[in-house]
Structure 1
Amino acid sequence: MNFNIRGENIEVTPAIQKFVEQKIGKIDRYFDEGLDANVNVNLKVYNNKQKIEVTIPMSQITLRAEEGHDDLYAAIDLVVDKLERQIRKHKTKINRKLRDQGSPKFMFTNGVEPNRPEYIDEDEEELEVVRQKRFDLKPMDSEEAILQMNMLGHNFFVYTNSSSNSTNVVYKRRDGKYGIIEPS
């Protein structure tokens, strides 16, 4: 794994860097041939609140988790736990998809970790579409799309950007601000 560790309002000391690499490096055991990916870690400090964001882009999936805590080291532990839960939850589905595509290799290892029971989710649902909607995309600017989204009470809204004529998505972020997803 290649680590890219950045800090916002915090200096990334060698001790912090070593701790992050050691903790996040533990997820390597979930992969058949080890994890050869760039691990992007962003550490933030705002108002004595520590936040860590980890993004690991890979060929088939992108693992991403973020966690906040008063203690940076506790936040790092929590984000690693969240990444491990994601991997355990989705490894069967991804390996099945690769097998169905004729791939001789699997992304995730199928072995059970020592000292840890195999993750079994009896309530695990198949990813199924339960509702489908069709509607015309009206050309508008981002402010009008935000207004429409808020009037509908949704947390995202799909629209056609009137200036670029491309399909965009506006969404409400956890911090209460708005974001826009545009095609490249």
Structure 2
Amino acid sequence: MQITITGRKVQVPDDVRAAVERKIGALDRFVGGLDRAEVVFREEKNPRITEREQVEVTLLGHGHRVRASVAGVDQHQAVDLAVGKLGKQLRKLKTRVVRRHRPNPQRDDVHHPLARLENDLVTDAASGAAAPQREASPDDPEWVPRIVRRKTFDLELMDPAEAVTRMQLLDHDFFLFVNADSGMPSVVYLRSDGDAGLIEIDT
């Protein structure tokens, strides 16, 4: 895996870089086909915040993008937190890929490059019978949320500022609308820092 490490207005010591290469590089044990990782370090300037060291890791490969953004009291802790979070996300991704690319449940080999799973998640190699599946729960790292509700509604034409106000009034963390500036569907969403973000379609 190719790993790119960047410090945005912060220094990244050699020992931290070595830890990143070792720990992020080991994430390919969860899934195969991860081509590269982009690791960006930042520092929160507010001295009242204890966990000031921030790291954002993006893993890319075979059309998949897995991202984790965390903060810690130092860069080493931030890296460990990011690795733990990414590990859970990759296990979920692996489970989804195997289920999607397993048309024949009697087969114990899956050819998708991200679908390396243990035998207990595919079939019993000795008997060829489907292995028993555990009852998952939201606390399980392999939990995959189901789509249990669908909604259809008409998009309203408005500018992004009005969409943010509407999102706040509805007490939602995102809002879908037609952007009056571009005439295209867009989404405003609530960021972890309390501000709002805007997602637009690249035409």
TM range (shorter): 0.7 to 0.9
Q: Helix, strand or coil: the match of 2:101?
A: helix
Q: How does 1:20-169 map to 2 (within 5 A)?
A: 20-32=20-32, 35-47=33-45, 49-100=52-103, 104-111=111-118, 122-123=136-137, 127-169=145-187
Alignment partners' CA distance in 1, 2:148 and 2:30: 32
Query: What residue ranges of structure 1 are gaps of 5+ in the alignment?
Result: 113-119
How far residue 177 of structure 1 moved from its aligned partner, in angstroms, is: 0.8
Measure how far apart 1:60 and its partner are.
4.3
Q: Specify the code of the residue in structure 1 equivalent to 2:39.
A: V
Task: Give the aligned CA root-mean-square deviation in angstroms.
Answer: 2.3
How many residues end up aligned between the 2 structures? 174
- Change in 2 beyond 3 A, CA 1:129/1:44: same
Post-superposition CA distance 1:38-62 (Å, at most 9, x none)? 2011111113611111011222432
- Please give the alpha-carbon distance, in whole angstroms, between the structure 1 residues aligned to 2:144 and 2:34: 29
Structure 1 residues 128 and 170: CA distance shift in structure 2, 3 A: same
CA spacing shift, 1:37–1:7, aligned 2, 3 Å: same
SS of residue in 2 equivalent to 1:99 = coil
Deviation of 1:160 (Å):
0.4
For normalisation by structure 2, the TM-score amounts to 0.76
Amino acid at match of 1:166: M
Distance in 2 (alpha carbons) for counterparts of 1:126 and 1:175: 27
Q: 3-state SS of the aligned residue for 2:7?
A: strand
CA contact (8 A) 2:189 2:196 kept: yes
